[in-house]
Structures are given as C-alpha cells and as structure tokens.
Amino acid sequence: MEKIEVSLEMMCYPMPCMILGTKVGEKANFMTVAWFTQISLKPAYILASLDKSHYSNPGIKETGAFSINVPSTAMAEVTDYCGLVSGKKYDKSTVFEVFYGKEGKAPMIVECPYNLECRLVQTVELAAEELFIGEVVAAYSDERCLTDGVPDMAKVDPLLLNVPQMAYLGVGSHVGRAFKMGKARIGKD
Ligand SMILES: Cc1cc2nc3c(=O)[nH]c(=O)nc-3n(C[C@H](O)[C@H](O)[C@H](O)COP(=O)(O)O)c2cc1C
C-alpha cells in the first residue's frame, strides 16, 4: 500500500469539543477547547492547551480553577460561537446558565450534560501555548444522561471536531468492548 505524506494539521482526529469555563475578574467566561485530554486517573488529572493570547488564561491563573463542560451535538452552534469570539470584546458570561460546584470557583454550564470541576495544579509554558493541568475535584452529570449510575455517551451525545474537513461530528456506533475484545487475539500472532 502506498503512503502519502499529508498535512500536520490533521495530526489527531476526531478531537473532543469542550467548553472551558473560568472567572475573569467578576465575570464568567467560556471558550471552546479541542486540545484537551485526560493524563492520569489517580490523581485525576486533565490537560488543556490554550494559546497565550486568550482572555481565559489570566482568569485560570488568578482563580486557580477552571471547568470543562461537554456540550451535546445540539449545542454545536453555541460551542462554535464560544470559539469564535473572545471575552476581550464580547461578554460571554450570560450565554449559559451557570452553576458552581464544591469549591465554588469555576463556573460550569447547566446546559452541558457533563461537567468537570478542576483545580489548577500546574501550568507548562510552550512557545505559543500554556498547558493547564487540572485536577478534577468533581464530575457532574445530568441525571437523564446516566445508565446504571454512570454517564452514558449515547445519552450525553458529545460533540467532536473533525479538523481535516473542518466539521463537527457526533460519536459513531458501538464497535466492541474496550480492554476486552483484544483478548481473543492474545497468543495468536
Ligand atoms: C472548535 C474549536 C476548538 C478550539 N480549540 C482550541 C484549543 O484547544 N485551544 C485554544 O487555545 N483555542 C482553541 N479554540 C479557539 C478559542 O476557543 C477562541 O480563540 C476563543 O475565542 C478564546 O476565548 P477567550 O479569548 O474568551 O478566552 C478553538 C475554537 C474552536 C471553534
């Protein structure tokens, strides 16, 4: 099979589309983040990569807190909006209904079915970005999105970003059981 070298912009895809919430001064601000990942379980650390120019960054550093909110596909337009306009120019504090969790520092979005309340533990500086590492102090889910007490992706219906086609996607169909289906192959190669 012939391989063709392609653009680096499509390194990772699809990517999750999250909305990061933080307080800047007295107001909540929300920005869209696709450069986001879990990096450990115990402690529960996540990482979000933010360009240094964003309005959100000083808010995260000042409050030591931020939230990650998972929008459903029905929220694609407002998610895109939060990624198009900056809090420097537009007041995004009234775009969503806001709630606060245990620590009361990071604004979270009621309309998003799943929310992570995070405490900033480390900031890593790159040339153009800041990597914010947060400890998840609590996760919240809409009751309607739970199956047997755990968040059910089919019900959350999260939004994904497909960079090569610059499109938003929903998740696809169930393919198999993770950490299980590969066992059938062990010792056969
Ligand atoms: C789909 C999408 C994903 C984005 N992902 C990121 C990201 O991971 N990191 C980043 O720095 N900016 C990202 N952006 C851009 C910011 O969300 C955007 O510049 C926003 O206006 C910053 O808001 P603020 O200045 O109010 O903090 C993304 C934008 C969109 C539309």
CA–centroid distance, 84 to ligand 1, in Å, is: 7
Rounded to the nearest 10 degrees, how much is the dihedral formed by the CA atoms of 77, 69, 45, 142? -130
Pocket test for ligand 1, best of 32, 70, 81, 88 (most atoms within 8 A of CB): 32
Secondary structure class of 129 (helix, strand, coil):
strand
CA–centroid distance, 17 to ligand 1, in Å, is: 10
Question: Is 159 a pocket residue for ligand 1 (Cβ < 6 Å)?
Answer: no
Is 9's pLDDT higher than 80?
no
pLDDT > 70: percent of the chain? 100
Tell me the mean pLDDT in the region 175-183: 96
Q: How far apart are CA 48 and CA 129, in angstroms?
A: 10
Question: Is 31 a pocket residue for ligand 1 (Cβ < 6 Å)?
Answer: yes
**pLDDT tens-place string over residues 54-63:** 999 999 999 9
Question: Is 105 a pocket residue for ligand 1 (Cβ < 6 Å)?
Answer: no
Structural domain boundaries in the chain: 11-143+151-185
Neighbouring CB atoms inside 10 A of 42's CB total 5
Q: How far apart are CA 37 and CA 47, in angstroms?
A: 5
CA–centroid distance, 132 to ligand 1, in Å, is: 14
Q: What is the domain class of 11-143+151-185 according to CATH?
A: mainly beta
- Give long-range contacts, CB 8 A cutoff, 24+ apart: 167-172: 168/17, 168/73, 168/76, 168/79, 168/80, 169/14, 170/73
Which of these, 35, 25, 134, 133, lies nearest to 87 by C-alpha position?
Answer: 25
Supply the pLDDT for residue 8: 82
Q: Report which protein residue has its CA nearest ligand 1's atom 30.
A: 83
